[in-house]
């Protein structure tokens, strides 16, 4: 079955998509703080979704829950409409095809770019033992435009390269779902265009991508749908245009003036 999907640029016809990941009442409390508070959303396979919200809204905590770095206080994370992965280890979740980048990049400084990409976050997996991992890592470095620096130790790479290296590490296992935590932070305009292209290409090949980002101009032109978190709660959901004109979102995050994302 097919449906028509409108984007800011053109009308395209895409196959109707199934839900790949869903949160149900997902919550994380730190002492009395509800960092993530009964969050419910569904992400379709192949979707490119943005998550926005002010500092401390719970965005990174949400990614930590979805990738097993934190166990939820309550709630479920359902993969493929059947498996609850909440509380599983990061390795197990990566093996199921969900990987992420980090807001603060922390490469192994003495290892080179290729080693940083192959040093697996899934050491017990078949993939890590496989001789094809190096090929996948090399492909991943090519994809993020870092192939020519594959032998450079991480400590000599500038911030923009390290952000793309983290991206390459997360992509090396060819995940089904990729979570990017502020992929554009600290990048120059030119580097941002490069990362934007990499994200678009990965998504065009079918990868489901969820991006947390404060750089809204880039995010709003890149994603097809936006979720808004505020004080741990989902306060808005819609197309970039709908979100930019949502009064509650404007008050909570975008400021009182109409947000111009064109």
Ligand X SMILES: Nc1ncnc2c1ncn2[C@@H]1O[C@H](COP(=O)(O)OP(=O)(O)OP(=O)(O)O)[C@@H](O)[C@H]1O
Residue ranges that bind Mg ion, judged by CB under 5 A: 59-60, 103
Per the listing, tokens 């800011």 go with 8
If one asks whether residue 143 binds ligand X (CB under 6 A), the answer comes out as no
> Which CB sits closer to ligand X, 4 or 55?
55
CA distance linking residue 140 with residue 138, whole number of Å: 5
Helix (H, G, I), strand (E, B) or coil at 88: coil
If one asks whether residue 53 binds ligand X (CB under 6 A), the answer comes out as yes
Residue 133 binding target from Mg ion, ligand X, none, CB below 5 to 8 Å by type = none
Binding segment (CB under 6 A) for ligand X, from list 37-45, 56-64, 141-149, 152-160: 56-64
CA distance linking residue 99 with residue 173, whole number of Å: 8
> Phi and psi of 48, rounded to 5°?
-120, 105
> Which CB sits closer to ligand X, 27 or 117?
27
Site for ligand X in 90-109 (CB under 6 A): 103
* Alpha-helical runs (H) found in 24-131: 59-66, 90-95, 113-118, 126-129
* Shortest distance, position 59 Cβ to Mg ion, whole Å: 5
Binding segment (CB under 6 A) for ligand X, from list 51-59, 77-85, 111-119, 193-201: 51-59
> Which CB sits closer to Mg ion, 46 or 181?
181
Helix (H, G, I), strand (E, B) or coil at 244: helix
* Shortest distance, position 103 Cβ to Mg ion, whole Å: 5
If one asks whether residue 23 binds ligand X (CB under 6 A), the answer comes out as no
Cβ distance 7 to 51 under 8 Å? no
Nearest Cα to 261, choosing from 245, 247, 249?
A: 245
Binding segment (CB under 6 A) for ligand X, from list 6-14, 50-58, 109-117, 162-170: 50-58
Nearest Cα to 62, choosing from 239, 248, 210, 217?
A: 210
Instruction: Enter the tokens of residue 5.
Output: 């999907």
Pairing of strands 177-181, 208-212: parallel
Nearest Cα to 163, choosing from 138, 136, 202, 192?
A: 192
CA distance linking residue 171 with residue 174, whole number of Å: 5
* Shortest distance, position 246 Cβ to ligand X, whole Å: 18
If one asks whether residue 87 binds ligand X (CB under 6 A), the answer comes out as no
If one asks whether residue 117 binds ligand X (CB under 6 A), the answer comes out as no
* Shortest distance, position 62 Cβ to Mg ion, whole Å: 9
Q: Which of 58, 72, 175, 240 binds ligand X (CB under 6 A)?
A: 58
Q: How many other CB atoms are there within 10 angstroms of residue 248's CB atom?
A: 11
* Shortest distance, position 38 Cβ to ligand X, whole Å: 15
> Which CB sits closer to ligand X, 170 or 172?
170
* Shortest distance, position 186 Cβ to ligand X, whole Å: 13
Binding site for ligand X (CB under 6 A): 30, 33, 35, 53, 55-61, 103
């Amino acid at each position: 079955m097919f449906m028509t999907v409108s984007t800011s640029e053109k009308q395209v016809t895409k196959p109707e998509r199934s839900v790949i990941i869903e949160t149900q009442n997902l919550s994380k409390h730190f002492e009395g703080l509800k960092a993530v508070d009964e969050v419910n959303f569904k992400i379709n396979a192949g979707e490119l979704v943005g998550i926005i919200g002010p500092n401390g809204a719970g965005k990174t905590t949400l990614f930590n829950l979805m990738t097993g770095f934190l166990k939820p206080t309550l709630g479920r994370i359902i993969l493929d409409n059947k498996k609850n992965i909440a509380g599983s280890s990061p390795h197990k979740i990566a093996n199921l095809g969900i990987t992420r980048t980090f807001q603060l990049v922390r490469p192994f400084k003495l290892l080179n770019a290729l080693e940083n990409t192959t040093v697996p976050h899934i050491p017990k997996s078949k993939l890590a033992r496989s001789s094809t991992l190096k090929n996948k890592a090399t492909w991943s470095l090519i994809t993020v435009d870092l192939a020519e620096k594959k032998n450079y130790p991480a400590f000599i790479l500038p911030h923009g390269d390290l952000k793309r290296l983290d991206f390459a590490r997360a992509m090396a296992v060819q995940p089904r779902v990729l979570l990017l935590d502020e992929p554009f932070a600290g990048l120059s305009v030119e580097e941002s265009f490069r990362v934007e292209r990499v994200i678009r290409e990965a998504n065009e090949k079918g990868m489901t991508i969820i991006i947390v980002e404060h750089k809204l101009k880039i995010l709003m032109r890149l994603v097809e749908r936006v979720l808004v978190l505020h004080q741990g709660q989902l306060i808005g959901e819609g197309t970039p245009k709908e979100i930019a004109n949502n009064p509650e979102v404007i008050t909570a995050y975008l400021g009182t003036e109409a947000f111009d994302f064109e």
